[in-house]
Every structure is written in C-alpha cells, then in structure tokens.
Amino acid sequence: MEISGARILVVGATGVLGGLAACALAERGAQLALAGRNQVRLAALARDLGGPPARCFEACDLDQCSGLGPWAERALSGLEGVLVTVGAAGFGTVENVSNAMAGHLLTVNALCPMAVLRGAAPVVADKGFLLAITGGVHDRAASAAGAAGTAGAAGTETADDLAGTADYTASKAALSGWLGVLSEELAPRSVTVLDIRSPRLDTGFTERSLTGRPPALPPGADARQAVHSLLDGITSI
C-alpha cells in the first residue's frame, strides 16, 4: 500500500507509540484522523500535524470506540487504514489482581481495540488494512506453558519475565485470537489484518502500570525505529 495520500485513523494517538506513529505517517504523506484519550495532548498533536480531524474517546466506552472508524471515514471522505495502539499495563500475581482490575485490563487491551476494529471493518476500503499491537508476551506464555507441560520439564527461561503478568497476557492473547478470525472474515475483500507482535519497546509503558510492579525486564527496543519498521511493513501489503 502507498502511504502517501492514504486516509488513516490512528487510535491511541496521545500515547507514546501512537504519537510516534502519527508523526511518522504524516511525514510519509498520509491523511490522518487522530483519536486519543487525553484531550490536551490530542489538541497539541493535531496542531503540530497541521490540524487533522481529531476526537477524544474513552476506552471503556465500547460504543464510542466502535464509532471512531465511521467518524474517520466521514471526516476523511474515505478510509484506507486503521492503527490501534491503545493499551494499559498491569501486574501482580493472580491472587493479588482484583477482578475489577482484571476486567479493566481486558477492556482496555482487548475489548477496546476489538470495538474500534469492529466499527471500522465495514467502512475501511477494500485492500485496506486494520492493525493492532498485541506484543509478544502471549507467545512467550504459550511457549512456557508448552514447556511446563512436557514430561520432565524443569522450567523455562521466560518464567521470570512472565511472573505477575497473567491478566495482562490474557488480554493480549484474547485480542490476538480475535484478530486471527477477523483476518479470515475480511479476506474476501482483501483487507489485511495485522497483529503486530513487537518486542518490548522503550516507551515507559510498564512504568505506567495501573497496578503492581513489572517484573525485571531487559531494556526495551527503540520505539521510533520500530514504528518505521511497522510502516515499512504496511507499504509491502
């Protein structure tokens, strides 16, 4: 896909990763619509990018999330792509994470992106794209579970990284599974569904945890470079 001139909605534009993506897309000539959860940062970003359409939303209001795609399609007179970078971190062993917090993580990390893409799917152009970032934590969890279930397995190298991430991991795994089915459903229209399983990035995401403390983690990869690699992937669609 040619990014220059493409009409693209960025949801989560007031986060670190979403802001970087919006700026990189603008540099490559995309026509943007921006959606974010922080009104002040959203207004500043829109001003910096020349005044594209912008809308503030609440991640826990799923009907509001579903309305973002149709709004962007109207505002831009068409829609070729959607990027969803919304997410929240939360940590703690399973007995120490409340049901309310587990539900909140599932809503922000899975149900919100699902709602955005559910609303965008009917209005995105044929041969367009829908993208969400799930990260690789659920892949590591699956590998660890497989190793633990192997006869004689004594443990895995990922155990320390995974401890205290069960509810966060579950929310990302739910989104990833949903994206896989969505990809099959939209295949007849040649709409590409991208599940971006990037490594941990240096965005300060884990330091903004809603609950608990993150496990000891290696340094994150460069977020700006990751964004440009992501956009390079879109151009290859």
Could you give the 3-state DSSP secondary structure of residue 119? helix
Residue 217, burial from CB neighbour count under 10 angstroms (0-12, 13-18, 19+): exposed
Predicted TM-score of the model (pTM): 0.88
- Write the Ramachandran bin of 82: left for phi over 0, alpha for psi from -120 to 50, otherwise beta: beta
Confidence check: pLDDT of 111 > 60: yes
pLDDT value at position 221? 84
% residues pLDDT > 90 (the chain): 73
Give per-residue pLDDT as tens, 83-97: 999 999 899 999 999
- The token duo for 85 is 């970078």
Q: 222 pLDDT band (50/70/90 cuts)?
A: confident
Position 211 scores a pLDDT of 87
Helix (H, G, I), strand (E, B) or coil at 122: coil
- pLDDT given for residue 209 in this prediction: 81
> Per-residue pLDDT tens for 18-33?
999 999 999 999 999 9
Residue matched to tokens 């910096």: 48
- Residue-level pLDDT at 135: 79
Determine the Cα–Cα distance for residues 119 and 135; give it in Å rounded to an integer: 23
Whose tokens are 């991208």? That residue is 194
Condensed to tens digits (0 to 9), the pLDDT of residues 112-158 reads: 999 999 999 999 999 999 999 997 665 554 454 444 454 444 334 35
pLDDT tier at 9 (50, 70, 90 boundaries)?
very high
Model confidence pLDDT, tens digit, residues 180-218? 999 999 999 999 999 999 777 777 666 778 887 877 777
Report, as an integer, the average pLDDT of 212-233.
84
